[in-house]
Amino acid sequence: MTLLGTMKTFLPIEKLSKFSWTTRSSKGFVRFVGISELLIGAGLILPGLTGILPILTPLAALFLCMIMVLAIADHVKYKENHEIGKNVIIIVLAAFVTVGGFALH
């Protein structure tokens, strides 16, 4: 997650053409998604490592689920059905972290 977020945040947009949605999105939106992914990655990892604000982990996982739902909608809109499987896998894993994390609090 953080590697992809770093790429979307700092690489020139032209280098991101392997992600089909980046070719049809504005530079600002691609950067926004990248920064969001970096923050989500930090929210998934840092609370567990530091013990500080552990409620952030299930919240970050919930936001990841929301981003993946929007990604699926975009893939459906542009008939990129072969891309949806990855999003579904991420949703299932993130939902597991979300439910488990909120159950602990």
pLDDT tens column, 34-90: 999 999 999 999 999 999 999 999 999 999 999 999 999 999 999 999 999 999 999
Question: pLDDT at position 1, please?
Answer: 60
Confidence band for 104, pLDDT divided at 50, 70 and 90: confident
Residue 38 one-letter amino acid: L
How far from 79 is each of 20, 29, 48, 76, CA to CA, in Å?
11, 21, 38, 5
Burial 33-57 (b: 16+ CB within 10 A, else e): bbebbbebbebbebbeeeeeeeebb
Question: pLDDT at position 20, please?
Answer: 87
